């Protein structure tokens, strides 16, 4: 009897480890929408974010922030789990993208570590930005590598503020958990 309980316990643990996330499909759908939004020409043509690998990464991270900020602000266990899953989808995509660019297995972990540090640094900077001036400064540093927030292209700050507020509503959070996000 004792052996069967132990076996059941081990099987339950393995099932939890190898089971897919409850929100994996929905998080992937939201992530695809984030990337599609981040690829919009307005960011590179009107807002003048450099149309480079780094610039595109930065715009994706900005949209990841907008989504996860709303999820974390809502604070329900489902929203927090979804935010975690969305971050995992992001890093899986970064891993896949590096491999497609020809980065070998030995270089992947080093580059992913650097990308994670950059991502979390930007997410933290945006999260800690209180007020319009602080947010403008965080955007200038992270999207343009500039300390002068006054040079932000017209409309960018308003875009971020508008979507930040919209994605924090209960309806927007519920839609994300269902795999939908609107910009």
Over residues 63-92, mean pLDDT: 94
**pLDDT for the residue 20:** 54
Q: In this structure, what token pair is assigned to residue 99?
A: 């491999």
Q: Say if residue 1's pLDDT is above 60.
A: no
Q: At what angle do helices 132-144 and 156-166 cross, to 10 degrees?
A: 110
Give the count of alpha carbons within 13 A of 57, CB side only.
19
Within 8 A by CB and 6+ apart from 107, the residues are 98
**pLDDT for the residue 148:** 65
Three-state secondary structure of 90-147: HHHHHHHHHHHCCCCHHHHHHHHHHHHHHHHHHHHHHHHCCCHHHHHHHHHHHHHCCC
**pLDDT for the residue 151:** 75
The answer to whether the pTM exceeds 0.85 is no
Over residues 84-88, mean pLDDT: 94
Q: In this structure, what token pair is assigned to residue 52?
A: 């480079």
- Spatial distance between the Cα atoms of 83 and 101, rounded to a whole number of angstroms: 27
Q: In this structure, what token pair is assigned to residue 181?
A: 């996000």
| C-alpha pair distances (Å), 79 with each of 69, 120, 125 | 10, 19, 21
Within 8 A by CB and 6+ apart from 146, the residues are 140
What average pLDDT does the chain have?
A: 86
pLDDT in tens, 8-52: 455 444 444 544 578 899 999 999 999 999 999 999 999 999 999
């Amino acid at each position: 009897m004792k052996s069967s309980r132990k076996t059941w316990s081990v099987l339950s643990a393995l099932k939890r480890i190898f089971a897919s996330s409850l929100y994996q499909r929905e998080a992937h759908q939201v992530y695809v929408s984030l990337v599609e939004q981040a690829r919009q020409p307005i960011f590179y043509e009107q807002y003048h974010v450099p149309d480079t690998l780094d610039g595109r990464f930065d715009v994706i991270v900005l949209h990841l922030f907008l989504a996860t900020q709303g999820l974390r602000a809502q604070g329900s266990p489902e929203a927090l789990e979804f935010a975690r899953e969305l971050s995992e989808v992001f890093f899986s995509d970064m891993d896949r993208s590096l491999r497609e660019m020809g980065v070998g297995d030995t270089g992947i972990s080093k580059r992913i570590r650097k990308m994670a540090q950059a991502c979390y640094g930007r997410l933290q900077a945006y999260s800690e930005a209180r007020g319009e001036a602080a947010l403008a400064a965080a955007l200038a540093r992270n999207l343009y590598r500039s300390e002068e927030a006054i040079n932000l292209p017209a409309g960018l700050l308003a875009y971020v503020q508008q979507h930040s507020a919209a994605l924090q509503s209960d309806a927007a959070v519920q839609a994300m958990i269902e795999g939908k996000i609107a910009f």
